[in-house]
Structure 1
Amino acid sequence: MSHYITTSGCETRTVLNPLNLLIITPDQLRADYLSCYGHATIGTRNIDRLAQEGVRFDNCYCQSPLCAPSRVSFATSTYVGEHGCRNYWSTISPEVPNLATTLKSKGYRTGMFGKNHLFTYDQLDSVWDEIHEVTLGNYDDHPKYSKSYSSFEMEKDHAYNKTGELTDDTIDFMRDAKRPFLAWVNYQDPHPAYTCPEPYKSLFDPKEISIPESYYHYDPDKQPYRNEVWRKHSEMDTCTEAELQNVIATYMGQVRYVDDSVGRILTMLDESGLAENTFVLFFSDHGELLGDYKMSHKLPAFYDCLTKIPAIIRHPDKKWAGAVFTGLTEEIDLVPTLLNLLGIDSPPTMVGKSWIQALEQQDYEGKETIISEAGGGAPTAKTPTPGLRLKAPHLPTSLGPGAMIRKGNWKLSMYVDDRCELYNFSDDPKELVNHYENPKFSEVRADLTTELLKRIMGVKVRDSGIDWDTERYPIDVRFEPLLKLEPDASGITGLND
């Protein structure tokens, strides 16, 4: 049996088995729709088990509330303002240093099952040794999907019913890997359309579902224009309470479908013995509006229902079992933390922070501030387009750059050409009272504006020392883009012939 020497922080250890990594990523899963994050009735016992046996990050924020920008930030550990991907169809070249290719270069067998929303499609085979890529969008051509808030039963034999199949693929890959592996399953669920097969569709009684407080109590005149435009285009202004209850009940069924699939994977890890040498990360790319502020799906806005994500890491030795990391953390911190656990240096292109030392010291203070960014580089649509009806947040919904900062109990969301928002979580956790124009909080607004400006200016800042390892990382990203399209024949900077 092979011995592998691994280093984690200051600790070096010899293990009898190679260390594997399993990543489980549901799409558009709100943190507060898991029992371990406080949901009272959803009953996610398998994901809860991961939290009980690992560390749960209680205030982890995604770098963008849209699919691809978030996933690119996760995999490359870079901010949106640097990698430049700003909508959910964006992709990035795997030549940019990332988790998958870093592990592959160390001899890991790599497998991805489900949604890509990350790497350029013509290069997927260079990243993944085994892949079953399934990007289903919003089920746009399903005959039962007529409105953005349509909720319906998914036929068990329908081509869109993929969660069970992707679970099978992941289990088979891990069982047959033969060497250290990275397995990443990217579920479509609980992404819209709001649909799942039985028994999950009928698991929750819509009549017992509570309507979110913000469905009734929001002020459209103090929210960004984009919100009201999306309400009109998505026809959510016509959604009844009963229809929304059906939506939420179905979304909960989708979450339970994922949870049962997680249970199948955990059972396989236990029965095969792989649990003894496999790290598990469970996280979502972003959240879902689900009726909050009378909206559905997502858009380039920064409410907690969209930007606060579940993030759980389980150590094979059950270290930190039941720990709750209460401080602010960012999605970009997850990959450096995982690489640290695997004894692999993070590429200097990555800007996230490893939390291993803090976990070892039980220091859960986290970061002073976190940021999130979204919105395409064009003016915000401030008025609805007459006659336009959208089932998903397609153009013009995704236009209008914005950025958010949270510090302590305050959150500031700023937009280039849209109404800005300022919320105080200490007395307004549902983000219902916008203080941006309130002179009483002008000093708070000014301070957070300065902090946000500094954070956005600093997205390329890396504590990598003066010298750059140009042999291993030819592009000095402190001065250059993450990827240069053409070689630099001068030999002065960047990628050379």
Structure 2
Amino acid sequence: MIRRLLTLACLSITMGTSCAADKVSSAEVTSAKQPNVLILMFDDMRFDTFSYRGGPVSTPNIDALAQQGTRFDNAMTTTGLCSPSRAAMFTGRWGHKTGLEDNVGLYHSRVSELDVSEGGVIKRAHDAGYEVGYVGKWHLGPQGPALRGADYMWGHEHANERHGRQWTPYVMQEEMANYNQGGRDAKGEKHLYYQTLPGTYETSHTAENVRHGQKMLKDFASKDKPFFSVISFEQPHPPYRVPEPYASMFDPSTLELPLNHLAKRQFKPMSQDDAWWPWHDVEHMTDEDWRKSRSYYYGAIAMIDHAIGEIIQTTKELGVYADLRIIVVGDQGSMLGEHSLYDKGPYAYDELMRMPLIIRDPAQAPRTITKQVSMLDIAPTLGDWMGLKSDGDVDGRSLVNLMQQGDSADQGRVDQALYAYEWYNGGWFGIRALRTPEFKFVWNPGDSRDEFYDLKNDPVELNNLVKNPKYKAQLLEMIALLDAELVRTADPSVVKFRQQMKPYVSGKDGTYQVH
């Protein structure tokens, strides 16, 4: 087994990456078996609500994992949209390489699945001898895990027909018309935003997910093979629907609201004013509606924490917890009224761009990483952990060095994050954003307005400073950094980017000079 691990780790990787064996920890090399890995994935889960981050929701089970593992406090998704971010996580590649830059299977979607040739970590784990399981939301096309060799699947997507009809929100359209005419649902609620579900936690879809995840873990623990398991939850994706006691756990009238809550958007791209999904029309929302939506979201986070506790308890009872490597991750954030926005759309605000990421490796001391890391970094990290054969070039970078030695370990890692928003359900935007700890530059090629934010003095991104002459030097530096990252990732949009940046810069042929 040790020879097999080293052979797999030393296979040549493109783009000039060093031999993976150099990155495999001594604990892995001396181990007689490949590590078991569990990913707990959540849908539209913000980075800022947990108690370990000083947030308003008590999350003891998530906090325990954060205390035992590595906290990545500045983790960024690749795209604020479910399918593209998930494709990036499982492959380690940008959408212009995988062909997946939009949601799949929904109204106006251009594609119906992540191409099966993009096997990602699921196929790589299967090929490396892992028992592979996937429970819950996939959103990369019907039967996707099975087509990549998974041994255990549960969830409606995993049995759906491939290349079927797109789902179109006609019913939502009718319900929105009712809200706009002053109507409400039962109990005076608006179930496209918040709703008290009948029953209890035990009758919820979240609990059902947990039960099937527990069943998968019990099945895998009984076998003499390493396992790679994903339990993927649809919570806390809007609308925020939870049973009691979570529905009334937080008093809407006492919630602290951020400075950009319902802020009027001034000098922002026009696309932010449009409703790209029926519930993006929020003119009917009252102050109480917004507060209840937020309170129900917080309730969903509390319910998720309970679900994680049940899963962790199961791994302990099965005797696999001590050596289990765990990743807790959200695919992207979500808007709860910041900038008067709900859900997600074609923009790059931190509430959408940032995501929670905790990685537990029992062989590593707990620590907090403040450097920005990307959703793309998860696949190469799994490759290092599990000794997986490369399946092509990778845009992300393994997080193992940071986990072992902290922020100062990886001197070659520039503290920046790239973000893209190419499509939204068939609508093209082509957005690219670069974030550093101090600034964020957002290129909106389909609009005449780009965005530039001073994150130190305006962390809630109210003031677009792209035309402020006081920030010219910083803007040019950010443009140059974004250009370099587009080149590094072989992004074909770099040609258009250089053309559109000419009004900002001096120099020829896309060379930027800071004055």
Gap change, CA 1:2 and 1:348, over 3 Å in 2: closer
- How far residue 238 of structure 1 moved from its aligned partner, in angstroms, is 2.6
Q: Which residue of 1 aligns with 2:330?
A: 284
SS at match of 1:277: coil
Partners of 1:247 and 1:77 in 2: CA distance: 33
Quick one: which of 263, 268, 280 aligns to 1:223?
Answer: 268
CA contact (8 A) 1:149 1:296 kept: no
SS at match of 2:428: coil
Q: Which residue of 2 aligns with 1:494?
A: none
- How far residue 444 of structure 1 moved from its aligned partner, in angstroms, is 1.9
1:359-378: CA deviations, max 9, x gaps? Answer: 323334653321011132xx
- How far residue 249 of structure 1 moved from its aligned partner, in angstroms, is 0.5
Quick one: which of 57, 62, 65 aligns to 1:42?
Answer: 57
Q: Which residue of 2 aligns with 1:412?
A: 441
Q: Which residue of 2 aligns with 1:150?
A: 193
Q: Following superposition of structure 1 onto structure 2, how do residues 201-220 of structure 1 map, counting pairs within 5 Å?
A: 201-218=247-264, 220=265
- How far residue 356 of structure 1 moved from its aligned partner, in angstroms, is 1.5
SS at match of 1:405: strand
Gap change, CA 1:367 and 1:94, over 3 Å in 2: farther
CA contact (8 A) 2:438 2:456 kept: yes
1:193-237: CA deviations, max 9, x gaps? Answer: 11111221111111121233212434x231111111239962313
Quick one: which of 325, 341, 355 aligns to 2:369?
Answer: 325
Gap change, CA 1:169 and 1:140, over 3 Å in 2: farther
CA contact (8 A) 2:122 2:145 kept: no
Q: Is residue 201 of structure 2 the alignment partner of residue 161 of structure 1?
A: no
Partners of 2:195 and 2:431 in 1: CA distance: 34
CA contact (8 A) 1:93 1:123 kept: no
Q: Which residue of 2 aligns with 1:304?
A: 350
- How far residue 427 of structure 1 moved from its aligned partner, in angstroms, is 0.9
Quick one: which of 97, 114, 120 aligns to 1:82?
Answer: 97
Q: Which residue of 1 aligns with 2:179?
A: none
Q: Which residue of 1 aligns with 2:31?
A: 15
1:50-80: CA deviations, max 9, x gaps? Answer: 1000001111111111000000011000013
User: Which sits farther off after the overlay, 335-344 or 50-59?
Assistant: 335-344
SS at match of 2:261: helix
Q: Which residue of 1 aligns with 2:468?
A: 438
- How far residue 312 of structure 1 moved from its aligned partner, in angstroms, is 0.6
Quick one: which of 319, 322, 330 aligns to 1:273?
Answer: 319
Q: Following superposition of structure 1 onto structure 2, how do residues 171-250 of structure 1 map, counting pairs within 5 Å?
A: 171-177=214-220, 178=223, 179-218=225-264, 220-230=265-275, 234-250=280-296
CA contact (8 A) 1:57 1:329 kept: yes
- How far residue 188 of structure 1 moved from its aligned partner, in angstroms, is 0.6
- How far residue 44 of structure 1 moved from its aligned partner, in angstroms, is 1.0
Specify every segment of 5 or more residues in structure 2 that has no aligned partner in the other structure, as ranges: 7-20, 105-110, 161-166, 176-184, 492-515
Quick one: which of 400, 421, 444 aligns to 1:374?
Answer: 421
Q: Which residue of 2 aligns with 1:118?
A: 140
Specify every segment of 5 or more residues in structure 1 that has no aligned partner in the other structure, as ranges: 377-392, 462-497
SS at match of 2:483: helix
Question: Which letter does structure 2 place at the counterpart of 1:401?
Answer: G
Gap change, CA 1:288 and 1:151, over 3 Å in 2: same
CA contact (8 A) 1:3 1:15 kept: no
SS at match of 2:489: coil
Partners of 2:362 and 2:474 in 1: CA distance: 44
Q: Which residue of 1 aligns with 2:40?
A: 24
Partners of 1:251 and 1:303 in 2: CA distance: 19
Q: Which residue of 1 aligns with 2:123?
A: 101
SS at match of 2:322: helix
1:288-326: CA deviations, max 9, x gaps? Answer: 011111110000211110011111110134x222x1011
Question: Which letter does structure 2 place at the counterpart of 1:151?
Answer: Y
Question: Which letter does structure 2 place at the counterpart of 1:368?
Answer: D
Partners of 2:310 and 2:201 in 1: CA distance: 21
Gap change, CA 1:10 and 1:115, over 3 Å in 2: closer
Question: Which letter does structure 1 place at the counterpart of 2:46?
Answer: R
User: Which sits farther off after the overlay, 434-443 or 358-367?
Assistant: 358-367
- How far residue 101 of structure 1 moved from its aligned partner, in angstroms, is 0.5
Partners of 1:251 and 1:344 in 2: CA distance: 37
1:89-148: CA deviations, max 9, x gaps? Answer: 253123224111100001111111111112554773443211112469999869859968
SS at match of 1:436: coil
SS at match of 1:457: helix
- How far residue 329 of structure 1 moved from its aligned partner, in angstroms, is 0.8
1:391-412: CA deviations, max 9, x gaps? Answer: xx866xx532211001231100
Partners of 1:216 and 1:158 in 2: CA distance: 32
SS at match of 2:245: coil
Partners of 2:199 and 2:44 in 1: CA distance: 22
SS at match of 2:73: strand
Partners of 1:287 and 1:424 in 2: CA distance: 21
Question: Which letter does structure 2 place at the counterpart of 1:455?
Answer: E
Gap change, CA 1:358 and 1:158, over 3 Å in 2: closer
Gap change, CA 1:25 and 1:140, over 3 Å in 2: farther
Q: Following superposition of structure 1 onto structure 2, how do residues 452-491 of structure 1 map, counting pairs within 5 Å?
A: 452-460=482-490
Q: Is residue 24 of structure 2 the alignment partner of residue 33 of structure 1?
A: no
Gap change, CA 1:149 and 1:439, over 3 Å in 2: farther
CA contact (8 A) 2:201 2:207 kept: no
Q: Which residue of 1 aligns with 2:88?
A: 73
Gap change, CA 1:443 and 1:189, over 3 Å in 2: same
Gap change, CA 1:404 and 1:182, over 3 Å in 2: same
Quick one: which of 51, 66, 69 aligns to 1:54?
Answer: 69
CA contact (8 A) 2:378 2:398 kept: yes
Q: Which residue of 2 aligns with 1:253?
A: 299
- How far residue 16 of structure 1 moved from its aligned partner, in angstroms, is 5.3
